[in-house]
Amino acid sequence: MAADGPSDALARLADERVDHRFKGLPPDADGLTVGELAAQRRNLFTGGFTTPVLALSAERLEHNLRLMETYTERHGLAFAPHGKTSMAPQLFRRQIDRGAWGITLAVPHQVRVARAFGIRRIFLANEVVDGPALRWMSAELDADPEVRIVCYVDSVRGVEQMDAALAGAARPLDVVVELAAGDEARTGVRTEKEAMEVADAVARTRTLRLVGVAGYEGEVPQATPERVRAWLRRLVALAAALDGSGRFAGAEVGEIIVSAGGSAWFDTVAEVFAELPELSRPVLKLLRSGAYVSHDDGHYRRLTPFNRIPEEGALEPAFRLWAQVVSRPSATQAFVNAGKRDAAHDLDLPTAQVVRPLDGTGERPATGVAVTALSDQHAWLRTEPGAGPEVGDWVGLGLSHPCTSFDKWPLIPVAEADGTVVDYVRTFF
């Protein structure tokens, strides 16, 4: 199998049976394979799908994948999109086919999913001190010389635990020192001095190999472009200091990794990474943005760097959650059958975007319709006089936060603009 080449496991996803595991799918497709159902090219609105059903836009997904490929190429960035967002091996594959260096993940379980689908370059953007997980990762490295896993370190104690867990490994595990985005920020060393101490602890092991630095500018407190820029310059300077003091030297390191970049500040990352001084080895400037793949209608619509750089393009929200009005108990209230089990609700409530009357008269904007609350299995709508919708109508909802949208749907129809479902995306959470 070629590095990150197509995997049999990926092909076998089309052989899974459509059944009770997958909400929203047509009951009369029960027993078909996913591939057979896709070949039927059913319509999302008339093809027997049940509500609620989350759909991805085929065109917008493709647009977003292409836009970030172009963006990272233009700015000389390597790209390891954060796979925790979708946990969808089919999307991992499309990201890699569009030039991604590899896939970023957050916890070892997610690495297992990626490895099961043949992903070979994995940036595990987190500390890992879990013995069984480390031994499993080590076995993956030892079994295939083309597999590469890079993870974070931010404490001497953690390094020592990793070393103990990895005793007997044939190949070292690559690590990068994580620099915290501030004193009250999340994980990562608080000071350059600690970074040096952690680097030295790594050097004392035979099981770990220091290959760079990383951090997450999304946690910079009270973030402004200036503050994010200042922190990114600290990160870049840390890489230079570790390099200048010979701390990447001992370990046959072919390139030095410098990584940052969520979905709110990748323009600033591109800007500061462009300033990187020459180091002793080539530098892999690794961006990790993940939310772009579906984008959203809330949090990331507000925060996307493309709002600051419209000349470079615009992401398009690719999710729409379709729910059906089951109750219209008063002139101002309506209830649809999608709730916390179906929609992201951690950053914002869903927003009502369009109404599709049951009578087939087509889609209209959901003017005067607002989502005011979510129950486990209902959304509460407040409606202005004359706004509708009526019992039976479908309401298309926009979502905020891709990470908590994907994780509620194990199999997601991908529909073209006219409703034709052309593919199904499987997720593993």
- Using CB under 8 A as the binding rule, the residues of this chain from 306 to 345 that contact a second copy are 324-330, 333, 335, 337, 340-341, 345
Work out which of 154, 163, 297, 348 binds a second copy, going by CB under 8 A.
Answer: 154
Q: Work out whether 32 is an interface residue with a second copy (CB under 8 A).
A: no
User: Cα Rg for the chain, rounded, in angstroms?
Assistant: 23
Nearer to a second copy, 87 or 279 (CB): 87
Q: Work out whether 168 is an interface residue with a second copy (CB under 8 A).
A: no
Q: Work out whether 43 is an interface residue with a second copy (CB under 8 A).
A: no
Stretch 233-262 residues interacting with a second copy (CB under 8 A): none
Phi, psi for residue 107 in degrees, rounded to 5 = -145, 155
Stretch 363-382 residues interacting with a second copy (CB under 8 A): 375-378, 380
Terminal CA-to-CA distance of the chain, rounded, Å?
A: 26
> Running DSSP on this structure, what letter comes out for residue 6?
-
Residue-wise DSSP of 285-348: EEE---GGGT--SSHHHHH-GGGT-GGG------EEEEEEEEEEEETTEEEES--TTTS--SSS
Stretch 73-102 residues interacting with a second copy (CB under 8 A): 84
Q: Work out whether 186 is an interface residue with a second copy (CB under 8 A).
A: yes
Q: Work out whether 180 is an interface residue with a second copy (CB under 8 A).
A: yes
Minimum separation from the CB atom of position 98 to a second copy (A): 24
Q: Work out whether 264 is an interface residue with a second copy (CB under 8 A).
A: no
Tokens coding 154: 């931010």
Minimum separation from the CB atom of position 171 to a second copy (A): 17
Query: Rounded to an integer, what distance in angstroms lies between the CA atom of residue 35 and that of residue 284?
Result: 38
Phi, psi for residue 293 in degrees, rounded to 5 = -60, -45
Stretch 189-208 residues interacting with a second copy (CB under 8 A): 189-190
From the list 182-190, 236-244, 295-303, 415-423, the region that binds a second copy by CB under 8 A is: 182-190
Phi, psi for residue 137 in degrees, rounded to 5 = -60, -40
Query: Rounded to an integer, what distance in angstroms lies between the CA atom of residue 123 and that of residue 103?
Result: 6
Query: Rounded to an integer, what distance in angstroms lies between the CA atom of residue 386 and that of residue 211?
Result: 62
From the list 46-54, 96-104, 233-241, 301-309, the region that binds a second copy by CB under 8 A is: 46-54
Q: Work out whether 429 is an interface residue with a second copy (CB under 8 A).
A: yes
Q: Work out whether 27 is an interface residue with a second copy (CB under 8 A).
A: yes
Q: Work out whether 116 is an interface residue with a second copy (CB under 8 A).
A: yes
Q: Work out whether 299 is an interface residue with a second copy (CB under 8 A).
A: no
Q: Decide if 322 contacts 352 (C-beta within 8 A).
A: no
Q: Which run of H or of E encompasses 63?
A: helix 58-74
C-alpha angle 86/90/92, rounded to 5°? 60
Q: Work out whether 45 is an interface residue with a second copy (CB under 8 A).
A: no
Stretch 380-419 residues interacting with a second copy (CB under 8 A): 380, 390-392, 403-404, 407-408, 410
Q: How many residues bind a second copy (CB under 8 A)?
A: 74
Stretch 267-296 residues interacting with a second copy (CB under 8 A): none
Nearest Cα residue to 412 out of 328, 280, 318: 318
Peptide bond into 389 cis (omega under 30): yes
Minimum separation from the CB atom of position 207 to a second copy (A): 16
Task: Note the helical H segments in 19-57.
Answer: 34-39
Q: Work out whether 167 is an interface residue with a second copy (CB under 8 A).
A: no
Q: Is residue 359 classed exposed, middle or buried when 0-12, 13-18 and 19+ CB atoms within 10 A define those classes?
A: exposed
Work out which of 96, 103, 113, 210 binds a second copy, going by CB under 8 A.
Answer: 113
Tokens 């190949």: give the residue: 171
Q: Work out whether 26 is an interface residue with a second copy (CB under 8 A).
A: yes
Work out which of 2, 8, 132, 222 binds a second copy, going by CB under 8 A.
Answer: 132
Nearer to a second copy, 337 or 420 (CB): 337
